[in-house]
Amino acid sequence: MRLFSRSAVILILFTAVTSMVSIQPKVTRVVFFGDSITQAGAKPGGFIVMMKDALTQKGLGSQYELIGAGIGGNKVYDLYLRMQDDVLSQNPDVVVVWVGVNDVWHKQTYGTGTDPDKFEKFYTAIINKLLDKHIRVILCTPAVIGEKADFTNQQDGDLNAYSQIVRNLAQKWHTGLVDLREIFHNYEQKNNPGNKESGILTLDRVHLNEAGNQLVAEKMLETLTNVK
Amino acid sequence: MRLFSRSAVILILFTAVTSMVSIQPKVTRVVFFGDSITQAGAKPGGFIVMMKDALTQKGLGSQYELIGAGIGGNKVYDLYLRMQDDVLSQNPDVVVVWVGVNDVWHKQTYGTGTDPDKFEKFYTAIINKLLDKHIRVILCTPAVIGEKADFTNQQDGDLNAYSQIVRNLAQKWHTGLVDLREIFHNYEQKNNPGNKESGILTLDRVHLNEAGNQLVAEKMLETLTNVK
Amino acid sequence: MRLFSRSAVILILFTAVTSMVSIQPKVTRVVFFGDSITQAGAKPGGFIVMMKDALTQKGLGSQYELIGAGIGGNKVYDLYLRMQDDVLSQNPDVVVVWVGVNDVWHKQTYGTGTDPDKFEKFYTAIINKLLDKHIRVILCTPAVIGEKADFTNQQDGDLNAYSQIVRNLAQKWHTGLVDLREIFHNYEQKNNPGNKESGILTLDRVHLNEAGNQLVAEKMLETLTNVK
Amino acid sequence: MRLFSRSAVILILFTAVTSMVSIQPKVTRVVFFGDSITQAGAKPGGFIVMMKDALTQKGLGSQYELIGAGIGGNKVYDLYLRMQDDVLSQNPDVVVVWVGVNDVWHKQTYGTGTDPDKFEKFYTAIINKLLDKHIRVILCTPAVIGEKADFTNQQDGDLNAYSQIVRNLAQKWHTGLVDLREIFHNYEQKNNPGNKESGILTLDRVHLNEAGNQLVAEKMLETLTNVK
């Protein structure tokens, strides 16, 4: 004597599977690929952690997995070298690339920055590899080396130029863009009347303080949740 | 029997002396003290030669002597080293100091630029020596290394910062100022819509073409003829 | 009625194939992978052309195919980026890697040299990719930037250090090594009594003159024909 | 009636003067003019203090006055700028000039080193000013930036070249010379078998540890007490 007919069993199983799917929606895996700023972003108080908290508060916590892949001192060609191991191996749906500060800064500090044409070339190679694998890409312009609001920081010329390269790449390859260079500059013009070198959005001219992490988290989240 | 009375002799002598004075007015000796840009300015087609021509056209040709003292590659401390030989020995009434491009540029090209605090220190020493000798001083801000109008030239951050140092020195020591950095930037914003690196006011991103020489000649002349 | 038995046919075919192999021996394809020095080496008068001539004179001309793959301004990470397109796609049997001058030199000229740890890292990645494909590898140490024989050339410290990195890599990975740094230094000590900067083995402190090309051709050929 | 004859008076005066001379011999004032290494040398444990102690032990303590005039970060043109205030105003009999490390090092760390021709030019100007005032001059070659004994420290090429400039100046102007570059190199070859970067004669690749201070004190004292 059977409690359920074969059809009934099938129906029950189908319903169960369907409901499981409905409570386990596709999780969007996001890898943040960058330098020491991104590395710090994955630590407590960092912008990636802030983004996780914000997603949870919006009830979207289960829909995103945010993964930090930042390494201090990295330039664009360092990202290229470790793409397979640190990014592609994670099977990401989205990769947020934020690089450029060291490419500019190390010219002055070590004599080992990156020429603008090489910056574009390696950046293009990274984008190509990601798009080939149907990964959505979000680019970020390098924000600041020094927070003075009147373009008197030593690297301002290069940061403006390399940011323009990133903007052009985003436009050419139809990627997302978080234009942190512009976002920071606008913020400094309003909130740095004393023309200070640091302490507004950074701890040390480069790495983010709490306000900096909040600003980046907010702007990245906007772009991340809008990118299809 | 006297040919002339004493009064007549006095009158004649007075007239003679007066006429001598009227045909030999005090000449203002102006030394242009700087780098290769100033060196080129003293050659045919250069801004110093253009200034001479303009003074002659205004009927002031006999009132000014313009002397070039520019040497290629000079930085602020090179000027300091050769002040006595090349400037003070000329007994100038006015010295136009135009330096700074190499102090900034040589950081990148040779690793031998000038730190901003040292730039200010040597510049101050030069101003002090000139003022001690009651020489009128006119300072110039460094104009451009690259003519792109949107602050994307590599050295724009430093050029803005070093120009600010020069402006502050001019204000502090009550010297004349030809703010070539600002003059060029305004000109580029109007006349360089293609955001070219050179060819608007320079031949090669740094050294003046004809339009550049004309612009500098005009602005320097304004300041020179107004400085008391 | 058959003219030949099956066995006879097989014998004839076997003989034909064997004789074809004997008159078409395996050609060793050698790719020279490097910067402007290697690029020039593939042009008339260059060391690669000299090596071809020398192989022909020895009756080995048909056993080697020498292919230039040098691009001016390349650093180690540039080689890494274009490995697939320019080297692996050629199915080489041997790759001669000669890089390092720009990694050191561009520190001073553009602020875009390569840190020693990154130099080693990218060099290792190149070696690994080649060995994975069972390609024989010959490394070369960077020769000179300036020919003064007493270690007073500005980059001598770095060239000595980066050459040591290359020597260590050759030892670690059991590759061939042409120690051009040492070969050139020994040559300069004997043949540059006036301690000149250029004109002994180079045209311009870096790129090879005829004597330089001959020296390199001779030493590379020794290693190439000895490497198994 | 006189108490003393004229001869007696003369004898007494002669004796008095002689005894005054014997208890107040001419003191040789020595100014040590340099950078942070010299600045540290005047502090407890520094080479200048060690030299004082050594002179006292030899019973020569009252014959020499040793005065430190080192300022951190100084390059040759900084010495030139502050000569009057810090050296000539002290009326020295001897000036020991030790400079060059920052002229070389700051090329890499800040892009603000000193070109070799400028190094020689400012150094010559310093020597001339001292010799004009009949001050005895002792030059020192820059010792080390990194203690590796095989010329693989990044700045070895430049340190060798700038030391050669100093040696040539000492020969040309017949000054004393303490060839610290050579002294240190010889010491490292004997005492640094592990090819360490620091810890043999320096604390940090540049500034002297106890052994370094002792070596410098000993060699400077030799030259100081021999220079006429």
Assembly ipTM: 0.86
Neighbouring-strand partners of residue A53: none
Closest residue of B to D77, CA-based?
A: B77
Q: Which tokens sit at A159?
A: 């940061």
**Which of B74, B76, B112, B114 best tests the D interface by mutation, with the highest count of D CBs <10 A?**
B112
Contact D157 C161 (CB under 8 A): no
Q: Which candidate, C191, C119, C188, places its Cα nearest to that of C151? A: C188
Q: Which residues in A lie closer than 8 A to residue B164 (C-beta atoms)?
A: 152
SS3 D30: strand
Question: Would an 8 Å CB–CB cutoff place C205 in contact with chain A?
Answer: no
Question: Would an 8 Å CB–CB cutoff place D115 in contact with chain C?
Answer: no
Neighbouring-strand partners of residue A18: none
Contact D112 B108 (CB under 8 A): no
CA distances from C193 to C187, C200, C201, C208, D2 (A): 11, 10, 13, 19, 83
Place of tokens 């670690």: C172
Q: How far is A168 from chain B (nearest CA, A)?
A: 14
Contact B160 A151 (CB under 8 A): yes
Nearest to A156 among B111, B146, B151 (CB): B151
Neighbouring-strand partners of residue C64: C28
Question: Would an 8 Å CB–CB cutoff place D121 in contact with chain B?
Answer: yes
Q: Which residues in D lie closer than 8 A to residue C146 (C-beta atoms)?
A: 157
Q: Which residues in C lie closer than 8 A to residue D164 (C-beta atoms)?
A: 152
DSSP, residue by residue, A152-180: -STTHHHHHHHHHHHHHHHHHHT-EEE-H
Per-residue model confidence (pLDDT) at position D3: 56
Q: How far apart are CA B213 and CA B46, in angstroms?
A: 6
Q: Which tokens sit at D60?
A: 């020569």
Contact D112 B110 (CB under 8 A): no
CB-based contact B35:B73 (threshold 8 Å): yes
Residues ≥6 apart with Cβ < 8 Å to C58:
none
Per-residue model confidence (pLDDT) at position C1: 47
pLDDT digits (tens, 9 = 90+) for D90-148: 999 999 999 999 999 999 999 999 999 999 999 999 999 999 999 999 999 999 999 99
Question: Would an 8 Å CB–CB cutoff place D168 in contact with chain C?
Answer: no
> If 0-12 CB within 10 Å is exposed, 13-18 middle and 19+ buried, where does residue C73 land?
middle
Question: Would an 8 Å CB–CB cutoff place B158 in contact with chain A?
Answer: yes
Residues of chain B with pLDDT under 70: 1-25, 227-228
Q: How far apart are CA C107 and CA A113, in angstroms?
A: 8
Contact A111 D108 (CB under 8 A): yes
Whether the pLDDT of residue D12 is over 90: the answer is no
Q: How does pLDDT run along chain A (228 residues), one tens digit per residue?
A: 455 566 665 655 555 555 554 555 689 999 999 999 999 999 999 999 999 999 999 999 999 999 999 999 999 999 999 999 999 999 999 999 999 999 999 999 999 999 999 999 999 999 999 999 999 999 999 999 999 999 999 999 999 999 999 999 999 999 999 999 999 999 999 999 999 999 999 999 999 999 999 999 999 999 999 865
Per-residue model confidence (pLDDT) at position D10: 61
Which stretches of chain D are assigned E, i.e. beta strand? 28-34, 64-70, 94-98, 136-140, 176-178
CB-based contact A118:C71 (threshold 8 Å): no
Contact A113 C111 (CB under 8 A): yes
CB-based contact C63:C107 (threshold 8 Å): no
CB-based contact A114:A155 (threshold 8 Å): no
Per-residue model confidence (pLDDT) at position A130: 98
Contact A113 C118 (CB under 8 A): no
SS3 C138: strand
Per-residue model confidence (pLDDT) at position D118: 98
Q: How far apart are CA A114 and CA A105, in angstroms?
A: 9
